[in-house]
Structure 1
C-alpha cells in the first residue's frame, strides 16, 4: 500500500506543542492525513502509525480537514434518483398526474438534429406511460399527427392487443408522412399490436365538402370513438408562427394565431391555455379540446426549448394530464415555472 513521504514527527503529533485537543493543527498535517486516508486507501491505524500518533487524533485530523475545506466529499445520486426528483418537481409545477423522463437525447451527429434522435430516446418512456394507462382490449387509444409521435412510432412500444387505435385529426391530403394521420395510426397500431381505425378525410375540408364528410358512415364511425377514448397520445406543437414545419391547412397568415403559443391535435391555444380559433377552424375535423379534457389518460410527448411555453400552456388548459419529455426540456420548464 502506498504511503505518504511525510516524515514522521519524532515525538508524534500528540507530543507536539500544538493544541491537538482543540483541533489547532497545521494545514500541512491535515492534508497529509487526509491524503493518506482518502486517496491512498490507508486505514486510520495506518495513518496513526505513519504520523506517530493515536487513532483518536487521526479522527480529529480528518474531521478538521473536512471542516476547513481541505477534504470535500460529494455524494452524487444515481441517474434514476436525479430523474425521479426532476420528474416529481415537474409533475407538481405543471399540476399533472405523472411525468415520465426519458434518457438524455443522444448527440445527433453531423448534419442531423434532435428530431433525428428523439424517437429512440422517447419510445421507452412512452411505452411506460402506455403500460401505466392500463388499456384493455376494446379500449380506444387516440393518436395525434406530428413529427414527435411519428418518430416515436418508429420504435417498439408496448403490446396492447385488441386496443382500438384512432387518429385525432384528418389529414390524408398532407404531403409529409408525419401529418398523414392514417400513416401514424397504422404505425402506432403495429407497434402496440392494436386495431387501426382510419379517418379518410382532410383536416380542413372546404365549406361544401365538410357537411357531406360528417354524414359519411366510415367517418362517423371514427368520430364516435373520440368521446369513448380511454387514452390519447399526442405531440405538442410549438408556437405556430415560429415554426418552419406545420400542416399545410394552418393559415399562418391569420391574425388570430399571433396569440397562439402551441397546439395539441391541431387545436391551438394561447398562453393561458384558452382555445385560439382561426378562419375556417369551425370546419376542422379534429378532436375538440373539451373532449381531450375528459379523456381519462392524456399523454403529451414533447422535447425542445421551443416547446417550453407550449407545454406549460397546454398543461394549464388541462389538455393532457401526463407528460413524456427529456431532462433538458424538463429543466427548462422548471426554470420557467419554479420560483427563483
Structure 2
C-alpha cells in the first residue's frame, strides 16, 4: 500500500516538517532509526528515506573537514623567532573557548615557571590582571622557598584581579613560596608618593624588584575594548594604546603612552622589566594580539604563554622582534 505521507512525484515525497523532525531526532538527539520509526509510526526503511531526502533538500548539511595537524613545537619556534623571544609556550585549548581564559593557559604557564630554574631564595614578581589571577588559582609547580611579591601597588577596583597582594598570596601558596606584600596604592598623590618610597615596607618590595629573577605578567588589551581599566588612568589619555603591562601603556610600536601622574606609579619600571632574566607574559585571544606584539617589541618580556590561535594570529600580523 502506498505510504500515506508520500507527496506527488513532482514535489518532495515527504512533508518538510516530517523531514525536519526525523533529521532532528537522528542527528541532534542521537535516536536510532528504529526508535524514530516507533515514534513516527512508520518503518525503518521509511526513516532511512526520510534522512536521505532531508540531506538531498538541504535540511541536513553534513560537513566533512579534513583534520589539520598543528605542530605546536614548530609553531612556538616560529612565533618566538618572529617576536624576538627566548621561548613560547603554547596551550592547545583556545583561551576564548574557556569560561576563564587564564585556566586554559594555566598548564602552559605552569610549564614555563617550572622551566625558569627558580630555586630557594629567588624572587618571582607577579602582576595584576584577570589572566594572571586565573592562573594563580590553577595548579602551579612546587617552587619551595621562592619569594613572591607584586609588581604594582593596590588598585581601587572591585574586581579581584586588580588586587595584587591577593594574587601574590595565591601564587605563593600554590608554589610553596613566601609572599611579601606591597602596602601602597598604585598611584599615590604627590605628597604621599615621596613618603611611601622611603617607607621600610615599600623599600623592602622595591629591593626585591631589583633582585627578581622571574616575572609573571598579564598583558592588558586595548583600553577601548576593555570592561574596566584602573580608575586612576584617564581613558582619553591612553586612547592610542594597544595595551599595557604593569599599568605602563604602549602603542602599536611599543612606545610609551603616558597619562597624567604616571611618574608617581608604584610599579616595576619598563627598564627593570627588561632586565629580568625570565619575563613570562601570559595572554591569549584576538583582542590581545596587537598588545602582545607591541609588548614583545618593547622588550617587556622575553617569554610568552599563549594559545595556538593567538600564535597563528601573531604570525599573520607580521610581527617583528624586540627593539635593541
Task: Name the TM tier (shorter chain).
Answer: 0.7 to 0.9
Contact 2:95 2:102 in 1 (8 A): no
Alignment of 1:59-208 (within 5 A): 77=69, 82-105=71-94, 114=98, 116-171=99-154, 173-208=156-191
Paired with 2:211 and 2:178, the residues of 1 have a C-alpha distance of: 15
The 1:274/1:106 distance shift into structure 2, 3 A limit, reads closer
What's 1:286 paired with? 267
May I ask how many residue pairs the two structures share in their alignment? 255
What's 1:311 paired with? 292
| Residue aligned with 1:253, SS | helix
User: Structure 1 runs of 4+ off > 6 angstroms?
Assistant: none
Where structure 1 has 5 or more consecutive residues not aligned to the other structure, the ranges are 1-73, 109-113
Quote the offset at 1:242 in angstroms: 2.8
Question: TM-score normalised to the size of structure 2?
Answer: 0.75
Q: Which has more radius of gyration? A: 1
What do residues 270-307 of structure 1 show as CA deviations (whole Å, max 9, x unaligned)?
22112221100011111000100000000000011111
Give the alignment's Cα RMSD to 1 decimal.
1.8
Where structure 2 has 5 or more consecutive residues not aligned to the other structure, the ranges are 1-65
Question: TM-score normalised to the size of structure 1?
Answer: 0.72
Paired with 2:169 and 2:222, the residues of 1 have a C-alpha distance of: 28
What's 1:266 paired with? 247
The 1:247/1:75 distance shift into structure 2, 3 A limit, reads closer
What's 1:49 paired with? none
Quote the offset at 1:104 in angstroms: 1.6
Contact 2:155 2:230 in 1 (8 A): no
Contact 2:281 2:305 in 1 (8 A): yes
| Residue aligned with 1:224, SS | helix
What do residues 41-90 of structure 1 show as CA deviations (whole Å, max 9, x unaligned)?
xxxxxxxxxxxxxxxxxxxxxxxxxxxxxxxxx9964x5xx111211111
Residue 331 (structure 1) aligned with residue 320 (structure 2): no
